[in-house]
Chains A and B, each alone.
Chain A
Amino acid sequence: MEEKVIICNDLTKQFGDFYAVNKISFDVYKGEVFGFLGANGAGKTTAMRILCGLSYPTSGKASVAGFDVYKQQESIKKNIGYMSQKFSLYENLTVSENIEFFGGIYGVERSEISMRRTDLIERLGLEKEVNKMVGELPLGWKQKLAFSVAIFHQPRIVFLDEPTGGVDPVTRRQFWDMIYEAAAGGITVFVTTHYMDEAEYCNRISIMVDGRIEALDTPENLKKNYSASSMDEVFYQLARGAKRSDN
């Protein structure tokens, strides 16, 4: 039996009488790349923020890394990394300073930070930009850096909220290589996206429509079950009935 690192049962989040997340249930296994799909406004960010201990659920149960989302948010936070939908490194700090700061507040030792930082900068090929303000970097590099910072303290699970939004296809490809690398290193990856080609890269995916999870399986099984040739088609069949949209 594989180890479950995220367990979610009937998790619900209401804003007034609006159900942003409506009774969603799923499990995520250790080391897996779990794709959390859905159109804009489906409720992905809301659900993810609950799992990260940033927001209280209205009802339902969930645990992350064995800790309860109602009571043990701070313990959850010690075990996860999070890359929010909105870019949230400090633009007025340099690449190097951002790495140092975020490593530091997760309790990584200074000497260890230096070592890992040198290694990271080299892998990202950012040698020339180490002392540049993060705000000056192109978007693709920012996103790669944000991801690297989110896993810098070697969390058990990393939550990525639309990490490749607005990024060019080549960089997206490289980004997914980084995700695989992290997964190979034992980090469970929970990622939201609305690029359907990216869904194919995931071990399993869930598709969320109007706050509910409408489908959950491996990409192959989903395509088979919906007799579709691509994930795009599966998604279209599920999502065309959606009422919500941010646009």
Chain B
Amino acid sequence: MKILRFLLQKEFRQIFRDKTIIAMMFMMPTVQLIILPLAMDLEVKNISLSIVDRDHSSYSQQLISKVGSSGYFKMVSMEPSYKEALKYVERDEADVVLEIPAGFERNLIREGKQKVGLSVDAIDGTKASIGGSYLNAIIADFTANLEINNKATTPTNYTSKSFIDVTYSTWFNPLAQFKYYLVPGILVLLLTMIGGFLSSLNIVREKEVGTIEQINVSPIKKWQFILGKLIPFWIMGIIVFTLGLVVCWLIYGIVSEGSLLLLYLFAAFYLIAVLGFGLLISTISDNQIQAMFLAFFFMMIFTLMGGLFTSVESMPDWARNISNLMPITHFIRVVRMVMLKGSGFADVQLEFFYIIVFGVILNGWAIWNYRKTA
């Protein structure tokens, strides 16, 4: 215990002396949490839409103005034919093409149903699929209103002529809930990056400088050394998390629906897992560049597969399995559930169990992998 105190004292002195680390720890979460969601929010709002209205009826006008007033779309052109409209997509000027066929109004009135064409640009998949889902929602809403007006019994159908098979349902979250969905996830990502990078670069730095030799030749215990590294970063992590929550509240007005205590409980254990992961990388690597590459590799996977931007549920089986093997997936899920839905401990106990298991495995592995005698 006494030895641990000396270790902690030393680590804190070094951390506080390193102005770059301090700046990174506090600037990064604030700035990124502010910039990232804003940038993404803009993107989903300005979906470029090209319209082919071959009906020129009052219904088609109504639908177009409804789409226009939704606020998500930027009409880039009205074209006489689908072929013309597609050129906009080819030139990257339109993300989505909405085609209203001739006889739209007549068929709606006479048969109560009509198809509209919806083509999305599969290159910018995220934007297009969000656009597609918004458009679907708007059309569905339009149809519902028509039914009331016309007392029609059969619902209007539409088909998507999209180039890709998009699962709209997971994205369908009208009224820009996307921001609320994204911000807590980014908070988790930042915590992961700061904790993961700092810890993965730390021990390996001592290897590079050579000071680890002086530690290894002392009678210090392996767990003492690892704990001495873990605790300072853990404290920094909790501070960063708090800072992030404050930013969420100040900038986005997002306040946790569920218990803050529960959030902190999870953050505490999640940090242990992330830091264990970083320390493991640090013990595996011989120099900072190796550690950086390894950490970066995993961070990319965490970012892309952790369910931050794409829902884990809509992933193919193999991807979902990988996703569930990463601590970040579980923490993102929990933070969303607790912050947005107000879930309690009972709802997330399985996730809690996962995170503890990750923490034990990763830290145990790091301690095991750290060799005082090579």
Contact = CB atoms under 8 A, between A and B. Distances in A.
Contact of A104 (B2, B18, B213, B372): B2
A102 B374 contact: no
Contact of A54 (B9, B210, B213): B213
Given A55-B373, A73-B372, A88 B219 contact: no
A52 B216 CA distance: 10
Interface in B10-59: 10, 13-14, 17-18
B14 A93 contact: yes
Interface string A55-89: 11000000000000000011001101010101111
For the side of the interface on A, what is the size category? 20 to 34
B120 interface: no
Contact of A80 (B2, B10, B216, B217): B217
A100 B211 contact: no
Query: Which secondary structure characterizes the binding site on chain B?
Result: helix
A41 to B, nearest CB: 19
A92 interface: yes
Interface of B: 2-3, 5-7, 9-10, 13-14, 17-18, 209-211, 213-220, 372-374
B214 A88 contact: yes
27 contacts: A53-B373, A54-B216, A54-B374, A74-B219, A77-B217, A77-B219, A78-B219, A86-B210, A86-B213, A87-B210, A88-B211, A88-B214, A90-B14, A91-B209, A92-B14, A92-B18, A93-B14, A100-B6, A100-B9, A101-B6, A101-B9, A104-B3, A104-B5, A105-B7, A105-B215, A105-B220, A107-B3
Interface in A125-141: none
A97 B13 contact: yes
Contact of A53 (B209, B214, B217): B217
User: Residue among B9, B17, B209 with the most chain A CB within 10 A?
Assistant: B209
A52 B83 CA distance: 79
A55 B372 CA distance: 8
Contacts of B218: 77, 102, 105-106
A101 B228 CA distance: 13
A97 B18 CA distance: 16
A90 B9 contact: no
B141 to A, nearest CB: 62
